[in-house]
Amino acid sequence: MRLQAVEPRRLYRQIADQIRGLIESGEVARGARLPAERDLARQLKVSRPSLREALIALEMEGLLDVRVGSGIYVTRPGSSAPDAASVGDPTGPFEVIRARWLIESECAALAARYAGAEQLRAIREAHQRMAEETRRNPNPLEADRLFHVRVAEASGNSALVLVVETLWDQRVGPLYRALERKVENPQMAGDTLREHQAIVAAIARRDSAAARAAMRRHMDMTKKRYSRDWKAVQA
């Protein structure tokens, strides 16, 4: 008896498969504009974040053209679309954000309790470096990563540092960055710096509850920024 391994499919991939099927069946023609994101989510009975991940994945495959402020368009016949396997099956950006919400909030709380003077200095320096780099680059990913790793290091738990670094590998992956580029704007950098400053302040005054809350708020606001209506981003 031959059995094939059961391969779990991420939700956004299941959604992408449905949309791809509509294109391949000819129900949606080349150049056609798909329904608005909100309407698509309602028809598929899925959340808008999951749908958004699916749309970005299909755009990366070359099947769709997501035009901020305009709409979602089919770019080529389904028969000539690249195989989804060639793009891979990375963790969805909103899953990454949720995992960071859980893990990094506890890192911040532990940092408030256990950080030594050198670790506090390292966190402040990482924050300052991001502020300086933001003047030249509205999205300084390396400086942003350094800040979060420094907070994790101050937790005193090397396993948590490894988890945070692994999550950041997903954070800078192609699917996450493709979504991020749709919503990037100059205001995001300033908002992020203010949210980081609240984390620094809570850790410095040894307030674990406030540090946890500040990191959670940062992650909540990140999700909110990535969930903003694409038309609103264009405006």
The three-state (H, E, C) secondary structure of 98-156, written as one string: HHHHHHHHHHHHHHHHHCCHHHHHHHHHHHHHHHHHHCCCCCCHHHHHHHHHHHHHHCC
Pair of tokens at residue 48: 């808008």
Q: Which residue has the tokens 């990454």?
A: 96
pLDDT value, residue 89: 64
Q: Kindly state the average pLDDT of the residues 203-227.
A: 96
Q: Taking the domains of the chain in order of start, what are their residue ranges?
A: 11-86, 93-228
The dihedrals phi and psi of 217, each to the nearest 5 degrees, come to -65, -40
**150 in Cβ contact with 122 (< 8 Å):** yes
Question: How confident is the prediction for the chain on average, in pLDDT?
Answer: 87
Buried b (16+ CB within 10 A) or exposed e, 88-102: eebbbbbbbbebbbe
Buried b (16+ CB within 10 A) or exposed e, 195-212: bbebbbebbeeebbebbb
pLDDT tens digits along 47-87: 999 999 999 999 998 899 998 888 899 986 544 444 555 45
**182 in Cβ contact with 68 (< 8 Å):** yes
Please tell me which residue, 25 or 217, carries the higher pLDDT value: 217
Q: Which CATH number fits domain 93-228: 3.60.10.10, 3.40.50.10070, 3.90.870.10, 1.20.120.530?
A: 1.20.120.530
Residue 234: pLDDT band with limits 50, 70, 90: very low
pLDDT value, residue 231: 63
Q: How far is CA 115 from the centre of its chain?
A: 28
Instruction: Give the type of residue at 131.
Output: A
Cα–Cα distances (Å) from 2 to 9, 33, 50, 125, 229, in that order, read 21, 43, 34, 58, 47
pLDDT tens digits along 89-140: 678 999 999 999 999 999 999 999 999 999 999 999 999 999 999 988 888 9
pLDDT value, residue 6: 43
Pair of tokens at residue 34: 């798909």
Question: Which residues share a beta bridge with 65?
Answer: 73
Residue 1: pLDDT band with limits 50, 70, 90: low
CATH topology of domain 11-86: Arc Repressor Mutant, subunit A (1.10.10)
pLDDT tens digits along 144-164: 999 999 999 999 999 999 999
Distance, CA of 92 to CA of 68 (rounded, Å)? 20
